[in-house]
Amino acid sequence: MTGHHPKGPIERTLLIIKPDAVQRGLIGEILHRVELDGFLFVAMKMATMTATQARGFYRMHRKKAFFKELVKFMTSDRCVLCVLERENAIASLRQLVGSTDPDQAAFGTIRHDYATATRFNCVHASDSPESAKREVHFFFKESALARIRHRIKRIYSMPFARR
């Protein structure tokens, strides 16, 4: 956990809990860490990616040697797709998640604690504002997200909220 909440713009980012974490029973643990770090869940769904989706989502890696295996892994079972919101959400989630290679990931990060290999690294987090926008909209319609936000605002005054 990053443990500090620097001021900054409210951003949205995409978190994917990958098939290895789903199969190992780590969904709750990962979601708990994300909520403790001050993220709000705007939307979330469980889905098995098609090969077309996985190839499109990871298209910047299409020339890499690991691309075929990456697509095979990402389509092997369900993922949990989450749209998250927080101040500095994009950088903060990357920090919480840790480096792609678990051997390089900082102590206490999700990948340090749970990932078993660079390929089987439990989670994906958008790496820039451009990626976050593209990745959120790859799986969620903006109109649906706007409706969810509107509904949350109308129902709760949240005097007890964390933030």
The answer to the question of residue 99 lying near ligand CMP (CB under 6 A) is no
Within 13 Å and on the Cβ side, how many CA atoms surround 142? 5
Of the candidates 134, 136, 138, 112, the one whose C-alpha atom is nearest the C-alpha of residue 123 is: 112
- Using CA atoms, how far apart are residues 61 and 119, in angstroms rounded to an integer? 13
Minimum distance between the CB of residue 18 and ligand CMP, rounded to whole angstroms? 7
Cβ neighbours of residue 34 under 8 Å, at least 6 residues apart? Answer: 15, 41, 82, 84, 93, 96
The answer to the question of residue 149 lying near ligand CMP (CB under 6 A) is no
Decide whether 127 or 149 has the Cβ nearer to ligand CMP.
Answer: 127
The answer to the question of residue 66 lying near ligand CMP (CB under 6 A) is yes
Q: What is the CA radius of gyration of the chain?
A: 16
The answer to the question of residue 22 lying near ligand CMP (CB under 6 A) is no
Say how many C-beta atoms besides its own lie within 10 A of residue 40's C-beta.
18
Q: Are 59 and 2 spatial neighbours (Cβ–Cβ below 8 Å)?
A: no
Minimum distance between the CB of residue 118 and ligand CMP, rounded to whole angstroms? 4
The answer to the question of residue 118 lying near ligand CMP (CB under 6 A) is yes
Catalytic status, residue 150: no
**Out of 88, 92, 121, 126, the residue judged to bind ligand CMP by CB under 6 A:** 121
The answer to the question of residue 111 lying near ligand CMP (CB under 6 A) is no
> Which of the residues 5, 32, 61, 124 is marked catalytic?
124
- Using CA atoms, how far apart are residues 119 and 19, in angstroms rounded to an integer? 11
Minimum distance between the CB of residue 57 and ligand CMP, rounded to whole angstroms? 9
User: Which residues are catalytic, by number?
Assistant: 124
What does the binding site for ligand CMP look like in residue numbers (CB under 6 A)?
58, 61, 66, 70, 100, 118-119, 121, 124
